[in-house]
Amino acid sequence: MKTRPYPAWISRLFILLVATLTFTGFMQMPLAKRYALTTVPGMAWTGDFFLVHKIHYILGAALLFLVALVAANWLRSWKNELALTGLGLARVTVVGGLVLSGLLRVYRNLPGVTLDPVYILTIEWAHLILVMILGVLALVALVRKTSAYAVRK
């Protein structure tokens, strides 16, 4: 792959965060016990919903920090040097939707917040579908060998 015009640690951290968020997100569903992942040595924690939920929130906060850092850098200087690729624009849009739906999920989980079940289902499904779309876009980028979000102008 070609060298990215932005620091490589950003890409590596983003991939790590998205991968672990995907894992902890799916483990909040009863998948760990159903598929005996909890019986694998060292993986019993995956069956503890509240622990996995807290880890997911911590990772989500780290992703928010990374997104804010990249957005600030983009607005400050990168927009003059870089242009988003088509695939990059699609992935930025999906990540923005994930951040928004994730924040709505956090709001929904606050004590004293009651939402209509239709809104709850919409938020949940939107979040899940956006995660899947992000995965498909990552696979498309791998197949095309064009994984960079941005290129030099």
- Lowest mean per-residue pLDDT among 14-18, 85-89, 120-124: 85-89
* Crossing angle between the packed helical segments 117-144 and 86-108, to the nearest 10 degrees: 150
pTM beyond 0.85, yes or no: yes
Give 5's pLDDT tier (boundaries 50, 70, 90): low
- Determine the pLDDT at residue 1: 42
b/e map of 21-33 (b: 16 or more CB within 10 Å)?
A: bbebbebeeeebe
Judged by DSSP in three states, 126 sits in helix
In the predicted model, what is the mean pLDDT of the chain?
91
The dihedral sign for the CA sequence 104, 109, 110, 114: positive
Give the tokens for residue 8: 């490589």
| Four-residue CA torsion sign, 124, 127, 129, 131 | negative
